Amino acid sequence: MSTVKVVTPSGKGGKDVELPAEFFGAKVNIPLMHQVVVAQEAAARQGTHATKTRGEVRGGGKKPYRQKGTGRARQGSLRAPQYAGGGTVHGPVPRSYVQRTPKKMKAAALRGALSDRSRHGRVSVVSRFVEGEEPSTSAALTVLRAAVGETGARLSLSVLVVVNEGDELTRKSLRNAVSVRVLTTGQLNTYDVLASDHVVFTHAALAEFTGQEPPADDAPAKDDAAKAKPAAKDTETKDAETKAAPATAAPAKGTPAKDEDAGDAPAKDAPAKDAPAKGASARAKAAAKDAPAEDKPAKAEDGKTAGAKAASAKDAPAKGASAQAKPAVKDKSAAGPEEEQQ
C-alpha cells in the first residue's frame, strides 16, 4: 500500500493519504486492458454508415442502347456498379459495434490501469482546487500544476481529474482548461486513465471511489454549504424550542396570578350552592306524593273525572246501536218497493 501527500490550495504540503492496494496495487494484465479499451472504442462508434446499391440509386431505369448490333457489351442500366454514379456493391450498412464485456473484466482492467499509473508515481491527491464558492480556472490550474509537478505556465502532460458527485465547483473551474479532462468517480474508465499521463483525485473523490470516509476539512465547498443548511435548521428548531419554553413555564412563574384568580372560585362554586335548593324541591315533590291526606281530594276529583269517562264509555254502545239502526232503515227502504210490487 503506497501513500501520497495531499496537496492543498495554499501550496503547503498536507497530511499523507494511503492508496489502497486493492485498487492501486493490483496486477497489470495488458491483454485484458487492450480488450476492454477496444470494446470501449467500438461502443463509441455510431454505426450509421450506409451506401446505396444499384436498386436504390436514382435513375437508370432505361436500357442505354439495344442489346445487339452496336458492337459494345450489353448493358441494362446506367446505374450499374461499373458506371460512374452507379450503385455500390457490398457497401457498409448501419449496424452496432457494441461488444459485450463482463463487468468483472472492466473492473479488473480499471484496477490494472490505476495500478500502472501508481507504480510510476503518476497518481496525486488534492484536498480541493478552489477555496470559496466561486469557480476560478487560474486558481485551479495553480493547484493542478503543483500536484502534477509542472513549473511552466502551461501543462505539458495530459491530466485526468477525478471529482466526487456534485462537485460542480471543480468541474466548472477546469472544464475549459487545455489538456485536462474532468470525470466523476462513476465515469472513471480504463481508456481515460491510459490516455492520460497523470491522474489527480480530490480527497473526497478518492474516499468515494475506495469506500473510505473523507475528513471533514477536505469536503468540497458545496458539501460544506449542504451541511450548513441542516445545522441552520437545527439552530432554528432549538430557538423555537427556547421561545416556546418560557410560554409553557409562564403559569409556573404566575402562581400569584393563580391566587388572584382563586377569588373567582366562589363565583364558579355558586351553582354548586344552588344545587341543594334543587334537591330540596325534588324532595318536597316526593313528600307531596307520599302525603295520603292531602292527596285524597285530588284523587276524588280524579275519581269524578274517571266516572265521567265511564259514563261516556256507557254511552258508546248507544252510539253504536244508532249506527247499526241506520243500515236497517236503509234495508227497509230498499225492501219497500219490492213489497209494494207484490
- Rounded CA-CA distance 210/267 in Å is 77
Nearest Cα residue to 219 out of 181, 176, 263, 167: 167
CB 129 within 8 A of CB 139: yes
Tallying the residues shown for the chain, one arrives at 342
**Residue 44 banded pLDDT, cuts 50, 70, 90:** very high
- Summarize the confidence of residues 43-58 as an average pLDDT: 96
User: What one-character DSSP code corresponds to residue 254?
Assistant: T
Beta strands in the chain (DSSP E): 2-7, 13-19, 123-126, 159-163, 180-184, 198-202
Residue 32 and residue 162 in contact, taking contact as beta carbons nearer than 8 Å: no
Q: How far apart are CA 52 and CA 280, in angstroms?
A: 117
* Residue 202 phi, psi dihedral angles, 5° rounding: -80, 155
Q: What percent of the chain has pLDDT over 90?
A: 50
Question: pLDDT (tens digit, 9 = 90+) per residue, 234-253?
Answer: 666 666 666 655 544 444 44
Higher pLDDT, 161 or 244: 161
How large is the average pLDDT for residues 207-225?
65
Query: C-alpha angle 4/5/10, rounded to 5°?
Result: 155
Given a cut of 80, whether residue 280 has pLDDT beyond it is no
298 pLDDT exceeds 50? no
Look at residue 65 and tell me whether its pLDDT is greater than 90: yes
Rounded Cα–Cα distance for residues 201 and 179 (Å): 16
292 has a pLDDT exceeding 70: no
Q: Which of 106-110, 247-251, 318-322 has the highest mean pLDDT?
A: 106-110
Residue 215's pLDDT band (cuts 50, 70, 90): low
pLDDT at position 286: 52
pLDDT at position 317 is 46
The confidence score (pLDDT) of residue 96 equals 96
What is the per-residue pLDDT for 281? 55
> Percent of the chain beyond pLDDT 70?
61
Q: Mean per-residue pLDDT for 79-93?
A: 96
pLDDT given for residue 79 in this prediction:
96
Which one is predicted more confidently, 13 or 138?
138
Query: What is the pLDDT at residue 332?
Result: 47
pLDDT of 268 reads: 46
Mean pLDDT of 167-172: 93
Residue 154 confidence (pLDDT): 83
Mean pLDDT, rounded, of the chain: 76
pLDDT digits (tens, 9 = 90+) for 94-103: 999 999 999 9
DSSP 3-state assignment of 152? coil
Q: Which residues of 135-155 are buried (b: 16+ CB within 10 A; e: fewer)?
A: bbbebbbebbbbbbebeeeeb
123, 147, 180, 181 from 173: Cα distances, Å: 20, 16, 11, 12
178 phi and psi, to 5 degrees?
-75, 140
CA dihedral 114, 119, 122, 125 (to 10 degrees): 70
* pLDDT band per the 50, 70, 90 thresholds, residue 320: very low
pTM of the shown model: 0.59
- At 110-155, the pLDDT tens digits run 999 999 999 999 999 999 999 888 999 999 999 999 898 888 778 8
Across 26-38, average pLDDT: 96
- For 196-220, the DSSP string reads -SEEEEEHHHHHHHHTPPPPGGGS-
Antiparallel, parallel or unpaired: β 180-184 and 159-163:
parallel
Residue 16 is predicted with a pLDDT of 86
Burial class of residue 173, CB neighbours in 10 A (0-12, 13-18, 19+) = buried
Quick one: cell of 143? Answer: 493547484
Q: Which residue has the higher pLDDT, 294 or 183?
A: 183
